[in-house]
Structure 1
Amino acid sequence: MDLDPRLLRYFIAVAEERHFSRAAIRLHISQPPLSYAIRQLEDNVGARLLARTSRHVELTDAGHVLYREALTLLRQAEEVRTLVQRVDSGLHGRLRIGFVGSMLYRGLPALLTAMRTTLPDVEHVLTELNSHDQIESVRRGELDLGFIHANPVPEGVLARDLMAEPFVVCLPESHPLAGQESLSLTDLAEDDFVFFARAASPSYYETVLSMCVSAGFMPVIRHEVRHWLSVASLVSQGLGVSIVPACLSRSGLAGTRFIAFEHEARSVSQAIWPTLARSPLQDKAVALVARQFPSSAPPVSMSGGAG
């Protein structure tokens, strides 16, 4: 059965006007094509839809049923058309976003608020993952957008630097140096350290290790964990000291003190997304990232190991 939307619109006009001439005027067509279209529709459905008299038109029982269903079908067709157009323009769908925990203190909440405002019909699915896992997930198409600590990215992944900030020392509040405004790393040469796991981010592990070595000592690494907030949590429990991005000082974690020290290294955060096969929604999300972090560098693609 061919329920041509055009025929359904013609039928609805006749059903509502109860008159062929008025319906033809409403549709901006002449009456003969309208009469032919209604006969064609009746042939298609295999039932008489209208009872014609010399003065007006009445709906048959079958006509009443088709009128009701035709309104529903056309409304659903319009909703589908609108949905497809919104998906095609990047205004509807699902955005899969990965993030490292420190991004909660580096502007991610404000970015998500801007996304919800700009893309209200988009479902945002957030997953906390370390940088290495995010890079692999973006490369495989399992994430649409990721927020990581700066790492080399493989072919097929684009990266944009978002911000750079200094590292600070994280001490338990019971530590003898916890009251200092600044200190030297050499003051911690005898302390146990909590490190960001080498397996989760070789680049961060090496950065922190090199700062200690440059200060003249090899740190005693007692614990390695995969998230910066876990690093700070272990420190708060008195299980060691650490070197962390300055943004963690805004975490409000009880039992910790964050203290500046002299160094040149910076903790850099990046946004990453696929190079190819992007959707309009992903492009809109990337544009929002650039708008939210206006001082960020242009995107780059670098080959190399990810961690």
Structure 2
Amino acid sequence: MERGPRIDPERIARELDWNLLRTFVVLAESRSITEAARRLRRKQPSVSSALKRLEERIGRKLLERSPGCYELTDAGRLLYREAVEINGSVLRLSTLLREIKDEVQGHVRICVASHVVCPLFDRALADFHAAHPAATIEIDVKPSAEAVAELRAKRASFAVCLVKDRDPRLEYRRLYREFFGLYCGPRHELFGRKGLTLADLAGHAAVSFETDRLHDALGPVALLRAQAGMGERIAGLSSHLEEVRRMIVAGLGVGPLPVHVARRDVEDGLLWQTPPYSGLPAIDVHVVWNPHAARNRAEERLLQLLLDMVAATPLEERTYG
């Protein structure tokens, strides 16, 4: 456990420079002083000097640097966690300072997992745009874990993603439920074959999502693969549904897709569903937001519209496939 001089909280609050904290956030997210200086577009001695000043004001060593070693101390990790929160709040201050007008304006940034296909979500976007055409929307496709990290850092308005472990600092609402089936493409030897059983999948290569692991958000899908005897050979892996689909269609292996998403490809002869056909794993997709983040009026209106639509729609109508 690190020990150091007694810290005066009032002195830190009085003397701490936000620019030093911002520099430290970049240092903590880099692999060297040189890399941090490049990202900050500053000279290396300037960044080293900023780190030294911050350590003097905090009264703790924040970063261990030696040949072959570049890592945060315990105090550094604690400061980084808090500084990221502060950074997000400062970056979003403009949302509170904009001139208030009768017309709802502002930018909404939504982090969305790649396999989100949800009519209710689409309807919320359409209704919001019809009511507030001056507002702008950005949809950033990210793996679910990265989407949640963006919310913690207050860099996103809200997220639509899978959830494994709930962060007590965030709020969650189930948006919809989907079921995953297994599929192969036209070049695969199982394509078009009727009367298949789960045993017919044993030994075949698999294609899947990066979160398709027993301990991760798509754990039930990983279990399904294991039960089919396809747990060993992973021929293709991606965090994006479009790329998982591409590899399945190309014949790399049998892979999971949401049933309601794959339906059109099955009808068009691009995909063939393999066993099992019942008892498919159910996966819940959530709306996630940070209640401590400052939001502009556009963000508030869209998030509330979506939550109101979820509350007014029974889960059976938000269950696809």
Tell me which residue corresponds to 1:109: 122
Return the letter of the residue paired with 1:257. Answer: W
Tell me which residue corresponds to 2:163: 150
Note the 1:154-193 alignment, pairs <5 A: 154-179=167-192, 183-193=196-206
Which secondary structure does the structure 1 equivalent of 2:174 belong to?
strand
TM-score where L is the length of structure 1: 0.60
Change (3 A) 1:242 1:267: same
Q: 1:286 aligns with which of 296, 303, 311?
A: 303
1:65-103 per-position Cα deviation (integer Å, ceiling 9, x unaligned): xxxxxxxxxxxxxxxxx951448xxx2211111112222
Alignment of 1:121 onto 2:134: yes
1:224-269 per-position Cα deviation (integer Å, ceiling 9, x unaligned): 2111221111011111111222132156487323456232520211
Note the 1:1-307 alignment, pairs <5 A: 83-86=99-102, 91-104=104-117, 107-179=120-192, 183-198=196-211, 203-215=216-228, 218-250=231-263, 252=265, 255-259=270-274, 261-279=277-295, 280-293=297-310, 294-295=312-313
Structure 2 Cα separation of the partners of residues 171 and 222 of structure 1: 13
Structure 2 Cα separation of the partners of residues 201 and 101 of structure 1: 20
Structure 2 Cα separation of the partners of residues 204 and 236 of structure 1: 24
Asked whether the 8 Å contact 1:170–1:232 carries over to 2, the reply is: no
Tell me which residue corresponds to 2:74: none
Which secondary structure does the structure 2 equivalent of 1:224 belong to?
strand
Change (3 A) 1:147 1:193: same
1:37-60 per-position Cα deviation (integer Å, ceiling 9, x unaligned): xxxxxxxxxxxxxxxxxxxxxxxx
1:285 deviates by 1.6
Q: CA RMSD in A?
A: 3.1
Q: Which runs of 5+ in 1 are unaligned?
A: 1-81, 298-307
Asked whether the 8 Å contact 1:132–1:201 carries over to 2, the reply is: no
Return the letter of the residue paired with 1:92. Answer: Q
Change (3 A) 1:237 1:92: same
Bigger Cα Rg: 1
Structure 2 Cα separation of the partners of residues 142 and 251 of structure 1: 35
Which secondary structure does the structure 1 equivalent of 2:148 belong to?
helix
Q: Which runs of 5+ in 2 are unaligned?
A: 1-97, 316-321
Which secondary structure does the structure 1 equivalent of 2:283 belong to?
strand
Structure 1 Cα separation of the partners of residues 197 and 177 of structure 2: 21
Structure 2 Cα separation of the partners of residues 201 and 286 of structure 1: 32
Number of residue equivalences: 214
